[in-house]
Amino acid sequence: MIKDAQQVAVPENTAVPAPAGVGGAHIAPAPRVSVQAFCETVETAAAVQAASEDRRLGKAHVKIQMGGITAATEAYNNSPTPNVILIETDARANDILNGLDRLAEVCDAGTRVIVIGRVNDVTFYRDLTRRGVSEYLIAPIGTIDVVRAICSLFSAPDAKPVGRIVAIVGAKGGVGASTVAHNIAWAIGRDIGLDSVVADLDLPFGTAGLDYNQDPPQGIADAVFSPDRVDTAFVDRLLSKCTDHLSLLAAPATLDRVYDFGAEAFDSILDSLRGSIPCVVLDIPHQWAGWTKRLLISADEILVVAGPDLANLRNTKNLIDLLRASRPNDNHPRYCLNQVGVPKRPEITPADFAKAIEADPLCVIPFEPQLFGPAANNGQMIAEVSASHKTAEMFRQMAQTLTGRTEIKRGRSGLLSPLLSKLMKRAG
Ligand SMILES: Nc1ncnc2c1ncn2[C@@H]1O[C@H](COP(=O)(O)OP(=O)(O)OP(=O)(O)O)[C@@H](O)[C@H]1O
Ligand SMILES: [Mg+2]
Protein backbone atom coordinates (compact mmCIF):
# COMPACT_ATOMS: atom_id res chain seq x y z
CA MET A 1 0.00 0.00 0.00
CA ILE A 2 1.67 3.00 1.48
CA LYS A 3 5.21 2.58 0.18
CA ASP A 4 4.32 3.49 -3.36
CA ALA A 5 1.19 5.41 -2.46
CA GLN A 6 -0.68 4.13 -5.47
CA GLN A 7 -4.00 5.79 -5.22
CA VAL A 8 -7.16 4.10 -6.21
CA ALA A 9 -9.88 6.30 -7.55
CA VAL A 10 -13.24 5.79 -5.98
CA PRO A 11 -15.91 5.70 -8.68
CA GLU A 12 -18.31 8.58 -8.46
CA ASN A 13 -21.27 6.42 -7.73
CA THR A 14 -19.84 5.42 -4.38
CA ALA A 15 -20.44 8.98 -3.25
CA VAL A 16 -24.12 8.73 -4.04
CA PRO A 17 -26.17 7.54 -1.12
CA ALA A 18 -28.18 4.50 -2.04
CA PRO A 19 -31.80 5.44 -2.46
CA ALA A 20 -34.37 3.76 -0.26
CA GLY A 21 -33.95 0.09 -0.88
CA VAL A 22 -30.37 -0.66 -0.12
CA GLY A 23 -29.19 -1.91 -3.45
CA GLY A 24 -29.89 1.35 -5.32
CA ALA A 25 -26.48 2.46 -6.51
CA HIS A 26 -25.02 -0.06 -8.88
CA ILE A 27 -22.12 -2.07 -7.50
CA ALA A 28 -20.11 -4.35 -9.76
CA PRO A 29 -19.11 -7.67 -8.20
CA ALA A 30 -15.54 -8.09 -6.95
CA PRO A 31 -13.22 -10.59 -8.62
CA ARG A 32 -11.60 -13.55 -6.86
CA VAL A 33 -9.57 -11.64 -4.24
CA SER A 34 -8.51 -12.19 -0.66
CA VAL A 35 -9.75 -9.80 2.01
CA GLN A 36 -8.75 -9.78 5.67
CA ALA A 37 -10.58 -7.65 8.17
CA PHE A 38 -9.28 -6.62 11.58
CA CYS A 39 -12.17 -5.27 13.58
CA GLU A 40 -12.46 -3.53 16.95
CA THR A 41 -16.19 -3.87 17.52
CA VAL A 42 -18.62 -6.76 17.12
CA GLU A 43 -20.95 -4.50 15.13
CA THR A 44 -18.34 -3.91 12.44
CA ALA A 45 -17.33 -7.58 12.49
CA ALA A 46 -20.99 -8.49 11.97
CA ALA A 47 -21.31 -6.03 9.07
CA VAL A 48 -18.19 -7.46 7.40
CA GLN A 49 -19.46 -11.00 7.97
CA ALA A 50 -22.78 -10.11 6.35
CA ALA A 51 -20.94 -8.40 3.49
CA SER A 52 -18.89 -11.53 2.91
CA GLU A 53 -22.15 -13.36 2.26
CA ASP A 54 -23.38 -10.79 -0.27
CA ARG A 55 -23.64 -12.04 -3.85
CA ARG A 56 -21.15 -9.40 -5.07
CA LEU A 57 -18.46 -10.80 -2.83
CA GLY A 58 -19.32 -14.37 -3.79
CA LYS A 59 -15.92 -14.89 -5.40
CA ALA A 60 -13.90 -13.06 -2.76
CA HIS A 61 -12.36 -14.88 0.15
CA VAL A 62 -13.03 -12.88 3.32
CA LYS A 63 -11.45 -13.60 6.70
CA ILE A 64 -12.41 -11.66 9.81
CA GLN A 65 -10.56 -11.29 13.07
CA MET A 66 -10.55 -8.85 15.94
CA GLY A 67 -7.77 -6.58 17.17
CA GLY A 68 -7.64 -3.65 14.74
CA ILE A 69 -4.48 -2.15 13.39
CA THR A 70 -2.16 -3.73 16.00
CA ALA A 71 -3.35 -7.23 15.22
CA ALA A 72 -2.96 -6.53 11.48
CA THR A 73 0.63 -5.38 11.87
CA GLU A 74 1.48 -8.41 14.00
CA ALA A 75 -0.21 -10.78 11.58
CA TYR A 76 1.80 -9.60 8.58
CA ASN A 77 5.19 -9.54 10.26
CA ASN A 78 5.84 -13.03 8.96
CA SER A 79 3.18 -13.66 6.38
CA PRO A 80 2.24 -12.15 3.01
CA THR A 81 -0.55 -9.60 2.86
CA PRO A 82 -3.86 -10.27 1.05
CA ASN A 83 -5.32 -8.18 -1.80
CA VAL A 84 -7.31 -6.08 0.64
CA ILE A 85 -6.86 -5.29 4.32
CA LEU A 86 -9.80 -3.77 6.11
CA ILE A 87 -8.99 -2.15 9.41
CA GLU A 88 -11.32 -0.78 12.00
CA THR A 89 -9.87 1.62 14.50
CA ASP A 90 -11.33 3.75 17.24
CA ALA A 91 -8.03 5.56 17.81
CA ARG A 92 -7.39 9.29 17.33
CA ALA A 93 -6.03 10.67 14.05
CA ASN A 94 -2.33 10.69 15.00
CA ASP A 95 -2.42 7.21 16.47
CA ILE A 96 -4.12 5.90 13.33
CA LEU A 97 -1.49 7.49 11.09
CA ASN A 98 1.34 6.11 13.21
CA GLY A 99 -0.27 2.69 13.19
CA LEU A 100 -0.63 2.82 9.40
CA ASP A 101 3.04 3.76 9.06
CA ARG A 102 3.99 0.66 11.02
CA LEU A 103 1.62 -1.47 8.96
CA ALA A 104 3.19 -0.07 5.79
CA GLU A 105 6.50 -1.62 6.75
CA VAL A 106 5.06 -5.12 6.66
CA CYS A 107 2.56 -4.59 3.85
CA ASP A 108 3.09 -5.72 0.24
CA ALA A 109 2.96 -2.98 -2.37
CA GLY A 110 -0.13 -4.29 -4.18
CA THR A 111 -2.30 -4.55 -1.09
CA ARG A 112 -5.18 -2.09 -0.80
CA VAL A 113 -6.14 -0.78 2.58
CA ILE A 114 -9.59 0.28 3.71
CA VAL A 115 -9.84 2.04 7.06
CA ILE A 116 -12.98 2.27 9.17
CA GLY A 117 -12.63 4.94 11.83
CA ARG A 118 -14.42 7.56 13.84
CA VAL A 119 -12.36 10.63 12.94
CA ASN A 120 -14.13 13.03 10.62
CA ASP A 121 -11.60 15.64 9.58
CA VAL A 122 -10.37 16.84 6.19
CA THR A 123 -6.68 17.16 7.12
CA PHE A 124 -6.81 13.61 8.36
CA TYR A 125 -8.37 12.42 5.07
CA ARG A 126 -5.54 14.11 3.23
CA ASP A 127 -2.99 12.30 5.38
CA LEU A 128 -4.72 9.00 4.70
CA THR A 129 -4.72 9.64 0.95
CA ARG A 130 -1.04 10.51 1.05
CA ARG A 131 -0.37 7.18 2.71
CA GLY A 132 -2.14 5.35 -0.11
CA VAL A 133 -5.22 4.34 1.85
CA SER A 134 -7.83 3.41 -0.74
CA GLU A 135 -10.99 4.05 1.21
CA TYR A 136 -12.00 5.57 4.51
CA LEU A 137 -15.38 4.81 6.02
CA ILE A 138 -16.75 6.53 9.05
CA ALA A 139 -18.19 4.19 11.66
CA PRO A 140 -20.84 3.01 12.20
CA ILE A 141 -20.94 1.27 8.85
CA GLY A 142 -23.53 -0.99 7.28
CA THR A 143 -23.15 -4.17 5.28
CA ILE A 144 -23.63 -2.44 1.95
CA ASP A 145 -20.90 0.12 2.78
CA VAL A 146 -18.42 -2.72 3.13
CA VAL A 147 -19.60 -4.40 -0.08
CA ARG A 148 -19.35 -1.11 -1.97
CA ALA A 149 -15.93 -0.22 -0.57
CA ILE A 150 -14.39 -3.56 -1.51
CA CYS A 151 -16.03 -3.83 -4.94
CA SER A 152 -15.15 -0.27 -5.92
CA LEU A 153 -11.45 -1.07 -5.52
CA PHE A 154 -11.68 -3.39 -8.49
CA SER A 155 -13.73 -1.36 -10.92
CA ALA A 156 -11.52 0.75 -13.16
CA PRO A 157 -10.87 4.31 -11.97
CA ASP A 158 -13.33 6.76 -13.47
CA ALA A 159 -15.09 3.92 -15.23
CA LYS A 160 -18.72 4.49 -16.01
CA PRO A 161 -20.65 1.93 -14.07
CA VAL A 162 -21.24 -0.86 -16.57
CA GLY A 163 -22.84 -4.22 -16.56
CA ARG A 164 -26.16 -3.89 -14.83
CA ILE A 165 -27.88 -7.24 -15.17
CA VAL A 166 -31.66 -7.34 -15.33
CA ALA A 167 -33.15 -10.84 -15.04
CA ILE A 168 -36.71 -11.44 -16.23
CA VAL A 169 -38.54 -14.71 -15.56
CA GLY A 170 -42.10 -15.99 -15.75
CA ALA A 171 -43.97 -17.22 -12.67
CA LYS A 172 -45.50 -19.82 -15.01
CA GLY A 173 -44.87 -20.90 -18.57
CA GLY A 174 -46.46 -18.83 -21.31
CA VAL A 175 -47.30 -15.77 -19.19
CA GLY A 176 -45.47 -13.46 -21.59
CA ALA A 177 -42.13 -13.20 -19.78
CA SER A 178 -40.10 -13.24 -22.99
CA THR A 179 -42.36 -10.69 -24.65
CA VAL A 180 -42.00 -8.40 -21.64
CA ALA A 181 -38.20 -8.95 -21.54
CA HIS A 182 -37.76 -8.15 -25.23
CA ASN A 183 -39.92 -5.04 -25.11
CA ILE A 184 -38.17 -3.72 -22.00
CA ALA A 185 -34.74 -4.34 -23.55
CA TRP A 186 -35.86 -2.55 -26.71
CA ALA A 187 -36.98 0.44 -24.63
CA ILE A 188 -33.69 0.47 -22.72
CA GLY A 189 -31.85 0.79 -26.03
CA ARG A 190 -34.25 3.10 -27.86
CA ASP A 191 -35.67 5.36 -25.16
CA ILE A 192 -32.91 5.42 -22.58
CA GLY A 193 -30.12 5.13 -25.13
CA LEU A 194 -28.23 2.63 -23.02
CA ASP A 195 -26.23 0.03 -24.95
CA SER A 196 -27.82 -3.25 -24.08
CA VAL A 197 -27.86 -6.93 -24.90
CA VAL A 198 -30.71 -9.39 -24.59
CA ALA A 199 -29.50 -12.87 -23.78
CA ASP A 200 -32.07 -15.52 -24.72
CA LEU A 201 -31.49 -18.31 -22.22
CA ASP A 202 -34.29 -20.50 -23.49
CA LEU A 203 -31.90 -22.40 -25.73
CA PRO A 204 -34.29 -24.98 -27.23
CA PHE A 205 -37.38 -22.79 -27.66
CA GLY A 206 -36.33 -19.12 -27.32
CA THR A 207 -38.27 -16.54 -29.29
CA ALA A 208 -36.00 -13.48 -29.17
CA GLY A 209 -34.79 -14.13 -32.73
CA LEU A 210 -38.39 -14.24 -33.95
CA ASP A 211 -39.47 -11.23 -31.89
CA TYR A 212 -36.65 -9.02 -33.22
CA ASN A 213 -36.86 -10.52 -36.71
CA GLN A 214 -33.27 -11.77 -36.59
CA ASP A 215 -31.82 -15.08 -37.65
CA PRO A 216 -28.18 -14.94 -36.63
CA PRO A 217 -25.96 -17.94 -37.47
CA GLN A 218 -24.31 -17.79 -34.05
CA GLY A 219 -25.45 -17.07 -30.53
CA ILE A 220 -25.35 -18.05 -26.91
CA ALA A 221 -24.88 -21.79 -27.58
CA ASP A 222 -21.50 -21.11 -29.21
CA ALA A 223 -20.34 -19.52 -25.97
CA VAL A 224 -21.88 -21.90 -23.46
CA PHE A 225 -20.45 -24.95 -25.21
CA SER A 226 -16.93 -23.45 -25.53
CA PRO A 227 -16.37 -21.90 -22.10
CA ASP A 228 -12.59 -21.81 -22.62
CA ARG A 229 -12.89 -19.50 -25.60
CA VAL A 230 -15.16 -16.99 -23.90
CA ASP A 231 -13.75 -13.49 -23.71
CA THR A 232 -15.14 -10.10 -24.67
CA ALA A 233 -14.01 -10.31 -28.30
CA PHE A 234 -15.46 -13.80 -28.70
CA VAL A 235 -18.82 -12.87 -27.18
CA ASP A 236 -18.90 -9.67 -29.28
CA ARG A 237 -18.78 -11.75 -32.43
CA LEU A 238 -21.82 -13.74 -31.29
CA LEU A 239 -24.02 -10.67 -30.89
CA SER A 240 -26.41 -9.64 -33.61
CA LYS A 241 -27.43 -6.02 -33.82
CA CYS A 242 -31.14 -5.29 -33.52
CA THR A 243 -31.15 -1.50 -33.17
CA ASP A 244 -28.51 1.20 -32.64
CA HIS A 245 -28.25 0.39 -28.96
CA LEU A 246 -29.56 -3.15 -28.72
CA SER A 247 -27.92 -6.45 -29.60
CA LEU A 248 -29.11 -10.01 -29.25
CA LEU A 249 -27.36 -13.07 -27.96
CA ALA A 250 -29.73 -15.48 -29.63
CA ALA A 251 -30.82 -18.98 -28.66
CA PRO A 252 -30.33 -21.66 -31.30
CA ALA A 253 -33.98 -22.74 -30.87
CA THR A 254 -33.14 -26.17 -32.28
CA LEU A 255 -33.49 -29.60 -30.74
CA ASP A 256 -30.45 -31.36 -32.16
CA ARG A 257 -28.87 -31.45 -28.74
CA VAL A 258 -30.16 -31.36 -25.18
CA TYR A 259 -29.33 -28.58 -22.78
CA ASP A 260 -28.43 -29.91 -19.35
CA PHE A 261 -26.39 -27.12 -17.83
CA GLY A 262 -24.35 -27.04 -14.65
CA ALA A 263 -25.07 -24.24 -12.18
CA GLU A 264 -22.12 -22.14 -13.37
CA ALA A 265 -22.58 -22.66 -17.11
CA PHE A 266 -23.27 -18.99 -17.85
CA ASP A 267 -20.80 -17.42 -15.41
CA SER A 268 -18.07 -16.63 -17.91
CA ILE A 269 -20.49 -15.29 -20.54
CA LEU A 270 -22.04 -12.96 -17.99
CA ASP A 271 -18.69 -11.82 -16.63
CA SER A 272 -17.66 -10.95 -20.14
CA LEU A 273 -20.91 -9.12 -20.98
CA ARG A 274 -20.88 -7.31 -17.65
CA GLY A 275 -17.44 -5.97 -18.39
CA SER A 276 -18.35 -4.35 -21.67
CA ILE A 277 -22.11 -3.74 -21.93
CA PRO A 278 -23.92 -1.20 -19.75
CA CYS A 279 -27.09 -3.26 -19.49
CA VAL A 280 -27.77 -6.94 -20.02
CA VAL A 281 -31.34 -8.25 -20.03
CA LEU A 282 -31.64 -11.96 -19.31
CA ASP A 283 -34.69 -13.73 -20.72
CA ILE A 284 -34.76 -16.65 -18.29
CA PRO A 285 -37.05 -19.57 -19.11
CA HIS A 286 -39.58 -20.76 -16.56
CA GLN A 287 -37.61 -23.57 -14.93
CA TRP A 288 -36.04 -24.11 -11.55
CA ALA A 289 -32.52 -25.42 -11.99
CA GLY A 290 -29.14 -24.64 -10.46
CA TRP A 291 -28.30 -22.29 -13.31
CA THR A 292 -31.62 -20.41 -13.38
CA LYS A 293 -31.51 -19.90 -9.63
CA ARG A 294 -27.91 -18.72 -9.83
CA LEU A 295 -28.67 -16.26 -12.63
CA LEU A 296 -31.58 -14.79 -10.70
CA ILE A 297 -29.66 -14.43 -7.45
CA SER A 298 -26.67 -12.81 -9.15
CA ALA A 299 -28.70 -10.24 -11.12
CA ASP A 300 -28.82 -6.57 -10.17
CA GLU A 301 -32.56 -6.35 -10.78
CA ILE A 302 -35.18 -9.08 -11.02
CA LEU A 303 -38.59 -8.90 -12.64
CA VAL A 304 -41.06 -11.77 -12.26
CA VAL A 305 -43.83 -11.73 -14.87
CA ALA A 306 -47.07 -13.25 -13.61
CA GLY A 307 -50.57 -13.88 -14.86
CA PRO A 308 -53.54 -13.14 -12.58
CA ASP A 309 -54.31 -16.67 -11.35
CA LEU A 310 -53.67 -18.76 -8.29
CA ALA A 311 -50.71 -20.80 -9.55
CA ASN A 312 -48.99 -17.60 -10.70
CA LEU A 313 -49.65 -16.03 -7.32
CA ARG A 314 -48.19 -18.97 -5.41
CA ASN A 315 -45.13 -19.17 -7.67
CA THR A 316 -44.52 -15.41 -7.59
CA LYS A 317 -44.67 -15.43 -3.81
CA ASN A 318 -42.28 -18.39 -3.58
CA LEU A 319 -39.85 -16.81 -6.03
CA ILE A 320 -39.92 -13.38 -4.41
CA ASP A 321 -39.61 -14.77 -0.86
CA LEU A 322 -36.65 -16.94 -1.79
CA LEU A 323 -34.90 -14.21 -3.76
CA ARG A 324 -35.46 -11.61 -1.04
CA ALA A 325 -33.92 -13.92 1.53
CA SER A 326 -30.95 -14.75 -0.70
CA ARG A 327 -30.26 -11.09 -1.50
CA PRO A 328 -30.70 -9.17 1.74
CA ASN A 329 -28.59 -6.20 0.55
CA ASP A 330 -30.34 -5.68 -2.79
CA ASN A 331 -33.45 -4.09 -4.14
CA HIS A 332 -36.35 -6.46 -3.66
CA PRO A 333 -37.31 -8.49 -6.71
CA ARG A 334 -40.16 -6.82 -8.57
CA TYR A 335 -43.08 -8.29 -10.42
CA CYS A 336 -45.54 -7.23 -13.08
CA LEU A 337 -48.89 -8.68 -14.01
CA ASN A 338 -49.47 -9.53 -17.65
CA GLN A 339 -52.41 -10.62 -19.77
CA VAL A 340 -54.87 -9.09 -17.33
CA GLY A 341 -58.52 -8.90 -18.36
CA VAL A 342 -59.00 -11.94 -20.59
CA PRO A 343 -62.74 -11.84 -21.41
CA LYS A 344 -64.89 -14.18 -19.33
CA ARG A 345 -61.91 -15.43 -17.32
CA PRO A 346 -62.12 -15.19 -13.55
CA GLU A 347 -58.96 -13.45 -12.32
CA ILE A 348 -57.27 -12.49 -9.10
CA THR A 349 -57.36 -8.70 -8.90
CA PRO A 350 -54.08 -6.71 -8.84
CA ALA A 351 -55.03 -5.48 -5.34
CA ASP A 352 -55.41 -9.03 -3.99
CA PHE A 353 -52.21 -10.05 -5.71
CA ALA A 354 -50.38 -7.10 -4.13
CA LYS A 355 -51.73 -7.98 -0.71
CA ALA A 356 -50.48 -11.56 -0.90
CA ILE A 357 -47.07 -10.57 -2.28
CA GLU A 358 -46.81 -7.58 0.10
CA ALA A 359 -45.74 -5.34 -2.76
CA ASP A 360 -47.42 -3.56 -5.63
CA PRO A 361 -46.79 -4.75 -9.16
CA LEU A 362 -44.47 -2.59 -11.24
CA CYS A 363 -47.10 -2.64 -13.97
CA VAL A 364 -50.39 -4.23 -14.87
CA ILE A 365 -50.36 -5.04 -18.57
CA PRO A 366 -53.75 -5.74 -20.10
CA PHE A 367 -54.49 -8.73 -22.32
CA GLU A 368 -54.46 -7.24 -25.83
CA PRO A 369 -54.28 -9.92 -28.48
CA GLN A 370 -54.96 -7.41 -31.26
CA LEU A 371 -51.74 -5.61 -30.27
CA PHE A 372 -49.46 -8.45 -29.14
CA GLY A 373 -50.58 -10.94 -31.84
CA PRO A 374 -49.42 -8.88 -34.85
CA ALA A 375 -46.25 -7.83 -33.01
CA ALA A 376 -45.31 -11.48 -32.34
CA ASN A 377 -46.18 -12.65 -35.84
CA ASN A 378 -44.40 -9.79 -37.63
CA GLY A 379 -41.23 -9.75 -35.51
CA GLN A 380 -41.98 -6.30 -34.10
CA MET A 381 -41.98 -4.62 -30.73
CA ILE A 382 -45.17 -3.15 -29.26
CA ALA A 383 -43.77 0.38 -29.69
CA GLU A 384 -43.16 -0.35 -33.37
CA VAL A 385 -46.76 -1.47 -33.84
CA SER A 386 -48.08 1.53 -31.90
CA ALA A 387 -45.59 3.95 -30.33
CA SER A 388 -48.22 5.97 -28.51
CA HIS A 389 -50.08 2.98 -27.06
CA LYS A 390 -50.23 2.99 -23.27
CA THR A 391 -48.68 -0.49 -23.17
CA ALA A 392 -45.61 0.84 -25.00
CA GLU A 393 -45.39 3.52 -22.31
CA MET A 394 -45.52 0.81 -19.62
CA PHE A 395 -42.49 -0.88 -21.14
CA ARG A 396 -40.66 2.47 -21.19
CA GLN A 397 -41.46 3.01 -17.52
CA MET A 398 -40.33 -0.45 -16.53
CA ALA A 399 -37.12 0.08 -18.52
CA GLN A 400 -36.49 3.23 -16.52
CA THR A 401 -37.10 1.66 -13.16
CA LEU A 402 -35.04 -1.45 -13.89
CA THR A 403 -32.07 0.56 -15.13
CA GLY A 404 -32.19 2.81 -12.08
CA ARG A 405 -33.02 5.93 -14.08
CA THR A 406 -35.03 7.19 -11.16
CA GLU A 407 -31.92 7.28 -8.99
CA ILE A 408 -30.41 10.52 -7.76
CA LYS A 409 -28.43 12.25 -10.50
CA ARG A 410 -24.71 12.18 -9.88
CA GLY A 411 -22.91 15.43 -9.16
CA ARG A 412 -19.91 16.61 -11.16
CA SER A 413 -16.59 15.49 -9.82
CA GLY A 414 -14.33 18.24 -8.58
CA LEU A 415 -10.59 18.66 -8.73
CA LEU A 416 -10.02 16.92 -5.43
CA SER A 417 -8.98 13.32 -5.45
CA PRO A 418 -12.07 11.13 -5.40
CA LEU A 419 -11.54 9.89 -1.86
CA LEU A 420 -11.03 13.37 -0.59
CA SER A 421 -13.96 14.93 -2.38
CA LYS A 422 -16.17 12.12 -1.23
CA LEU A 423 -15.16 12.55 2.37
CA MET A 424 -15.52 16.31 2.19
CA LYS A 425 -19.05 15.87 0.95
CA ARG A 426 -19.70 13.74 4.00
CA ALA A 427 -18.01 16.12 6.36
CA GLY A 428 -19.88 19.08 4.94
N1 LIG B 1 -50.41 -8.68 -22.70
C2 LIG B 1 -50.57 -9.59 -23.66
N3 LIG B 1 -51.73 -9.64 -24.37
C4 LIG B 1 -51.89 -10.57 -25.33
N5 LIG B 1 -50.97 -11.48 -25.67
C6 LIG B 1 -49.80 -11.47 -25.00
C7 LIG B 1 -49.55 -10.53 -23.96
N8 LIG B 1 -48.29 -10.77 -23.49
C9 LIG B 1 -47.79 -11.81 -24.19
N10 LIG B 1 -48.70 -12.24 -25.10
C11 LIG B 1 -48.54 -13.36 -26.02
O12 LIG B 1 -48.42 -14.54 -25.24
C13 LIG B 1 -47.63 -15.51 -25.91
C14 LIG B 1 -46.58 -16.06 -24.98
O15 LIG B 1 -45.61 -15.07 -24.72
P16 LIG B 1 -44.11 -15.38 -24.36
O17 LIG B 1 -43.53 -16.34 -25.31
O18 LIG B 1 -43.48 -14.08 -24.18
O19 LIG B 1 -44.32 -16.08 -22.94
P20 LIG B 1 -43.24 -16.77 -22.01
O21 LIG B 1 -43.71 -16.55 -20.62
O22 LIG B 1 -41.89 -16.31 -22.35
O23 LIG B 1 -43.42 -18.30 -22.44
P24 LIG B 1 -42.42 -19.52 -22.21
O25 LIG B 1 -42.79 -20.07 -20.87
O26 LIG B 1 -42.75 -20.45 -23.34
O27 LIG B 1 -41.04 -18.99 -22.27
C28 LIG B 1 -47.03 -14.80 -27.13
O29 LIG B 1 -47.77 -15.17 -28.26
C30 LIG B 1 -47.25 -13.32 -26.83
O31 LIG B 1 -47.41 -12.56 -28.00
MG1 LIG C 1 -40.09 -17.32 -22.76
Which pLDDT value is given to residue 25? 67
Out of 172, 184, 372, 391, mutate this one to test ligand 1's pocket (max ligand atoms within 8 Å of CB): namely 372
End-to-end Cα separation, the chain, in angstroms: 28
d(CA 425, CA 408): 15
At 92, the amino acid letter reads R
Average pLDDT over residues 27-35: 92
Q: Is 16 a residue whose pLDDT tops 70?
A: no
Q: How does pLDDT run across 316-338, given as a tens digit for each residue?
A: 999 999 999 999 999 999 999 99
Closest ligand 1 atom number to CA of residue 375: 31
Percent of the chain with pLDDT over 90: 82
Q: Is 30 a residue whose pLDDT tops 50?
A: yes
- Other CB atoms closer than 10 Å to residue 229's CB: what's the count? 12
Which pLDDT value is given to residue 102? 95
Global confidence as pTM:
0.84
If one compares 414 and 52, the residue with the highest pLDDT of the two is 52
Q: Show the CA angle centred on residue 46, arms to residues 326 and 104, nearest 5°.
A: 120
The residue among 247, 250, 124 whose CA lies nearest residue 196 is: 247
Which pLDDT value is given to residue 189? 96
Burial of 138 (0-12, 13-18, 19+ CB in 10 A): middle
Closest ligand 1 atom number to CA of residue 202: 27
Q: Is 81 a residue whose pLDDT tops 70?
A: yes
At 308, the amino acid letter reads P
The residues whose Cβ lies within 5 A of ligand 2, an ion, are 178
Is residue 428 very low, low, confident or very high in pLDDT (cuts 50, 70, 90)? very low
Helix axes 177-190, 390-402, angle to 10 degrees: 80
Give distance in angstroms: CA of 253 to centre of ligand 2: 12
Which pLDDT value is given to residue 159? 54
Give distance in angstroms: CA of 283 to centre of ligand 2: 7
Q: Is 20 a residue whose pLDDT tops 90?
A: no
- φ/ψ of 304, rounded to 5, equals -100, 130
Average pLDDT over residues 371-391: 97
Is residue 405 very low, low, confident or very high in pLDDT (cuts 50, 70, 90)? confident
- CB of 231 closer than 8 Å to CB of 272: yes
Percent of the chain with pLDDT over 70: 87
Which pLDDT value is given to residue 282? 98
Closest ligand 1 atom number to CA of residue 285: 27
